[in-house]
Amino acid sequence: MPLRSRLFLPVIATTPKGASVDSHKILLRGGYAMQTAAGMFAMLPLGKRVLDKICSLVSKELDGSEILNAQQAAMPSLVPAELWKKTERWESAGSELFRIADRKKREFCLGATHEEVFTDIVASAVRSHRDLPLFLYQIGQKYRDEARPRYGLMRGREFIMKDAYSFHVDDDDFASTYEEVNAVYSRIFDALGFDYVRVEADGGDIGDGHSHEFHVLSNLGEDTLVHCDKGNYSANVEIAAKRNGDACTAPGCSCGGSGTLIERKGIEVGHIFHLGQKYSAALGATFQSSDGARVPVTMGCYGIGITRILAAAIEAGCESGGCDAFAWPASIAPYSVLLLPSKSAAPLLRDVYERLPSNVSTSVVFEDRTDVSRKKQAAEIPLVGYPVVVTCREEGAFTISDRAAGAEWTVSSAEECASFLEKNILEHENKQE
Ligand code: ATP
Ligand code: MG
């Protein structure tokens, strides 16, 4: 049972220096993470629990798609320079790439993204069109020496990404996977309760054109999006300008007949690309077609910023209800329930705890500290972001409050309270185990 007194949760009462945005402040104040260098963070147990939940949500949705047949792998962070030289990214990546040499002066980079590594594996393992399509992914660290690491986990120099790569015989086959990834991403961002949009995006230097980004709408967003108020056209302004040439792409311009473009700010949490044959041709990832010729495989790649989602969820929560009332979306809360007794009621709530099955009670914290004031105990609630708090003042009066929904229920016995929590609040814990 997580007893509050035994949790490593170094909560800070005041706002730490250097944290300019809400998510960064909460991460430091709540004891989720500590900064070790610019853009690098040690994740403490509380933050690690959220990250693990985001990872399991993402992989559950990917693995659950029968169309994708997604399979998880894990690549080393150190990537041989030769691979990046073959695709000419060793030069083009410039100073964003962390470069390292081993004792024999062999060059490596710390993986900023892993197209080369996955494509190289496919080059050596895939022979025939019968081996395709193939959808591989991993969840792991990425390293980018960002010019301006900032906003805490939002833009780090070491961060966690889910990166997926798909391999196909042709563009038609790729297109059905691309469409399915769109659907899977929507399920993921729905489960996170995000207010998000999918926009046409600039492929940057990874892709060869066709790409979409998923943005959480937030005033803090570093990207500017334009959206047509009539119809469903949305784009990152970077591409809107490129696409439309001299046409008007600024907010206020007309669009879709009678519509007007409006501007919104977004935090990019996902990005999907059509890569074509750029990497497969450079790295020799080919298959034998029916007429015997060797053809480079057609590829797609699909990223989700795991650590950025953690920060974006806090920003979204703070923007909608204020940081003082912050509660995690139930799907990724580090702990789902706080049992917060008044002194005399402690045994009653402990009774509730003991009635919960052990596979769900790991997500329930019991406030057992008698040397900490009630005020301090309460001040911690929006920092840990418990979705649900249970209090009990006297025999027969248990109050269960859903902090996000603002709903409250009263039950009269420990038994009733435990079964309510198990059925209504902790059911998803069961599914995750
Ligand atoms: P950005 O435009 O924000 O710099 P990007 O387009 O370079 O991101 P991608 O290469 O598309 O990023 O990476 C996939 C996902 O990884 C992004 O959608 C984002 O959520 C996340 N991500 C990218 N860079 C960072 C970073 N420095 N810190 C945290 N997450 C990041
Ligand atoms: Mg991107």
Domain boundary (289, 324, 359) is at 324
Q: Phi then psi for 184, rounded to 5 degrees?
A: -65, -45
Picking from 324, 358, 387, the residue at the C-terminal end of a domain is: 324
Residue 78 falls within a domain, yes or no? yes
Ligand 1 test: best mutation among 196, 206, 271, most atoms within 8 Å of CB? 271
Q: Retrieve residue 146's tokens.
A: 């960002």
Residue 10 lies in a domain: no
Strand-pair partners of 236: 225
Give the alpha-carbon dihedral of 348, 351, 355, 360, to 10 degrees.
80
Asked if 264 and 198 count as a contact pair (C-beta separation under 8 A), the reply is no
Q: Is residue 405 part of a domain?
A: yes
Residue 253: its pLDDT value, please? 86
- d(CA 403, ligand 2 centre) in Å: 34
For 320, the token pair is: 């909608």
**Residue with CA closest to ligand 1 atom 6:** 271
Residues 47 and 149 grouped into a single domain: yes
375 and 360 in a common domain: yes
Please check whether residue 363 lies inside any domain of the structure. Answer: yes
Tally of domains in the chain = 2
Separation between Cα atoms, residue 149 and residue 159, nearest integer Å: 11
CATH at residue 334: 3.40.50.800
Are 97 and 202 in a shared domain? yes
Q: Are residues 309 and 335 in the same domain?
A: no
User: Is residue 169 in contact with ligand 1, taking CB distance under 6 Å?
Assistant: no
CA 365 to centroid of ligand 2, rounded, Å: 37
Note whether 11 and 29 are within 8 A (CB).
Answer: yes
Residues 311, 361: one domain? no
- Domain limit, last residue, from 267, 291, 324: 324
The CATH number of the domain holding residue 103 is 3.30.930.10
Are residue 113 and residue 262 in the same domain, yes or no?
yes
> Do 250 and 297 fall within a single domain?
yes
Residue 370 belongs to a domain: yes
For residue 204, give the ligand 1 atom closest to its CA: 6
Q: Clarify whether residues 388 and 309 are in a common domain.
A: no
Q: Are residues 200 and 110 in the same domain?
A: yes
Q: What is the pLDDT of residue 395?
A: 80
341 CA → ligand 1 middle, Å = 43
Alpha carbons 164 and 110: distance in angstroms, whole number: 18
Q: In this structure, are 206 and 104 located in the same domain? A: yes
- In this structure, is residue 1 part of a structural domain? no
**Are 163 and 141 a contacting pair, CB within 8 Å?**
no
As a whole number of angstroms, the distance between CA 13 and CA 380 comes to: 9
Range of the domain at 246: 22-324
- pTM flag (> 0.85): yes
If asked whether residues 141 and 211 sit together in one domain, one would say yes
Give the Å distance between the CA of 271 and the centre of ligand 1.
8
204, part of any domain: yes
In a domain, 7, yes or no: no
- pLDDT tens for the chain, 433 residues long, are 799 999 999 998 888 888 889 999 999 999 999 999 999 999 999 999 999 999 999 999 999 999 999 999 999 999 999 999 999 999 999 999 999 999 999 999 999 999 999 999 999 999 999 999 999 999 999 999 999 999 999 999 999 999 999 999 999 999 999 999 999 999 999 999 999 999 988 765 555 558 999 999 999 999 999 888 887 778 888 777 666 665 777 888 888 788 888 999 999 999 999 999 999 999 999 999 888 899 999 999 999 999 999 999 999 999 998 999 999 999 999 999 999 998 888 899 999 999 999 888 899 999 999 999 999 999 999 999 999 999 998 888 999 999 988 999 999 999 999 999 999 988 877 555 4
HEC states along the chain? CCEHHHCCCCCCCCCCCCCCCHHHHHHHHCCCEEEEECCEEEECHHHHHHHHHHHHHHHHHHHCCCCCCEEECCCCCEEEHHHHHHCCHHHHCHHHCCEEECCCCCEEEECCCCHHHHHHHHHHHCCEHHHCCEEEEEEEEEECCCCCCECHHHECCEEEEEEEEEEECCHHHHHHHHHHHHHHHHHHHHHCCCCEEEEECCCCCCCCCCEEEEEEECCCCCEEEEEECCCCCEEEHHHHHHHHCCCCCCCCCEECCCEEEEEEEEEEEEEEEEEECHHHHHHCCEEECCCCCEEECEEEEEEEEHHHHHHHHHHHHHHHHCHHHCCCCHHHCCCCEEEEECHHHHHHHHHHHHHCCHHHHCCEEECCCCCCCHHHHHHCHHHHCCCEEEEEEECCEEEEEECCCCEEEEECCHHHHHHHHHHHHCHHHHHHC
Residues 354 and 313 in one domain: no
Amino acid sitting at position 429: E
The encoded tokens of residue 223 equal 């990207």
